[in-house]
Amino acid sequence: MKRTVPIFAALVCLLAWPALLPAQSSDSAPERIAVINMSAAVGASQEGKQASAAIQKKYEPKQQDLQQMEKQVEQLQDQLQNQSSMLTSDQQYALSQQLAAQQRRLKETQEDDTDDYQADTQEAIRQIAEKMQKVITQYAQQHGYALVIGEQSIPVYYASKAVDITQAIIKLYDASYPVTAAANSQDKAPRHAANGDAPKH
């Protein structure tokens, strides 16, 4: 519901745009409209790939810790199931309490790691998107676009490839904000961080 007002306002501006054109000279007023897939542009940029690889590397130790905790839970479950006949009621209760505590700890750690991962990812996206908006403005002014619509902002039911400037923006962004040679070697790293997807635990 929070996005209803911005989307409605954008639609109103879009519908009202032709009414504004007669007040200006048709020779000087740009009339072209373009669309861009912002999330794809951010993720496919060299800086987006670099950020994704860095975040992925940061959370690799946490992922390993979670896997170890999962093994401990499985071991306790097997012990409780396979050795219950050899344990006293007090021992069974103590083991079940230990298992429950380990499961809670695993769940809390997973949630904390996911929250931290998403926060880092969103911050990386925000920083790149801020700079990319400047690139989009520069590109639109240079190429005579009156309006650039993000595919995630307004429902776009059809858009010709001729008006999709996503690849052009990626190319211009990489030229405007080049990454180091070391960062280029990380291009094959998983890209889900730049797309905002949490790691699987």
Percent pLDDT > 70 in the chain is 74
Ordered by start, the domain boundaries in the chain are 29-184
Q: 13: helix, coil or strand?
A: helix
Helix (H) or strand (E) segment spanning residue 147: strand 145-150
CA dihedral 54, 130, 176, 43 (to 10 degrees): 40
- Sequence letter at residue 82: N
Q: Are 179 and 54 in contact (CB under 8 A)?
A: no
The CATH code of the domain at 29-184 is 3.30.910.20
The answer to whether residues 110 and 201 touch, using CB atoms and an 8 Å cutoff, is yes
pTM to 2 decimals?
Answer: 0.67
Tokens representing residue 44 in the block: 């496919």
Task: Please say whether the beta carbons of 190 and 57 come within 8 A.
Answer: no
pLDDT band at residue 19 under the 50/70/90 scheme: very low
> For 146-196, what is each residue's pLDDT tens digit?
999 987 767 777 878 889 999 999 999 999 999 986 555 544 444 444 554
